[in-house]
Amino acid sequence: MSTRTAVVTGASSGIGEATARELAKQGYHVYVGARRLDRLEQLAAEIGGTALPLDVTDEQSVRAFTDAVQRCDVLVNNAGGAKGLATVAEADLDDWRWMWETNVLGTLRVTKALLPKLIASGDGLIVTITSIAAFHAYDNGSGYTSAKHAQAVLHRTLRGELLGQPVRLTEIAPGAVETEFSLVRFDGDEDRAANVYKGIDPLVAQDIAEIVGFVASRPPHVNLDTIVVKPRDQAEPGRFARRA
């Protein structure tokens, strides 16, 4: 039997990077994709995987990436993120475009392209990293919450559309995870990013990676549909127990 193969998008940092390591540990050959190729090459060398450039907002880049993947048993739709925190009245259209292109259309492009290979594998698994922002609306967050809701609905729709096919679908919806997420959201402002996690014990990327690993190691008849995971210190988006 040839080696089982996993694809992780957005594997150059955070949740994606940790997930690629976890799946490699389980024996998968992991294709890692993102825009920062230098980071990916280092990771791929460590885990014996394959690094390929991937911009999920670019049709040609997605085609080149997915054409290079010969076999796909597991797809982790992880590439994504947030830009800014603004009211609807002050919404930045470019930030919205970035969030929708990356989280929503990016997930659509990659999933669509790899679906035939996932089905052909005989036991495919699609894990999509959405967010608790896919379940809640919060002030100043509409660009991100709307994109995560849309990404989640795309994923949940596929669960029904693929019924009868050998593909499982798992949505993982994390609360606050300390990664480069807030640095990206606040355009590299380190102080502002650090404040998000101040006085709480946030989740770390490895926590989510282990959940993906658990999902991927279930037998073919077990479909974990939705997993919501938050730090103990967080009840909802923006509602934390912070120590002084």
Binding residues vs ligand NAP (CB under 6 A): 9-16, 34-36, 54-57, 78-81, 102, 129, 131, 174, 176-177, 179-181, 184, 205
Distance in angstroms (rounded) separating the CA atoms of residues 209 and 172: 10
Tokens linked to 184: 């990206």
Measured from the CB atom, the residue of 57 and 123 that comes closer to ligand NAP is 57
Taking the complex as a whole, the smallest distance from the CB of residue 46 to ligand NAP amounts, in Å, to 16
Tokens linked to 162: 């693929």
Beta strands in the chain (DSSP E): 5-9, 29-34, 50-53, 74-77, 124-129, 167-174, 177-178, 203-204, 226-229, 234-236, 239-240
SS3 category, 23: helix
Taking the complex as a whole, the smallest distance from the CB of residue 35 to ligand NAP amounts, in Å, to 3
Catalytic residue among 28, 31, 144, 197: 144
Q: Which residue is nearest to ligand NAP (CB)?
A: 14
Torsion, Cα of 129, 202, 239, 140 (10° steps): -60
Catalytic residue flag (residue 144): yes
Taking the complex as a whole, the smallest distance from the CB of residue 56 to ligand NAP amounts, in Å, to 4
SS3 category, 4: coil
* Phi (first) and psi of residue 167, to 5 degrees: -135, 130
Measured from the CB atom, the residue of 108 and 205 that comes closer to ligand NAP is 205
Measured from the CB atom, the residue of 26 and 206 that comes closer to ligand NAP is 206
Measured from the CB atom, the residue of 53 and 166 that comes closer to ligand NAP is 53
Taking the complex as a whole, the smallest distance from the CB of residue 122 to ligand NAP amounts, in Å, to 28
Which residues are known catalytic residues? Answer: 144
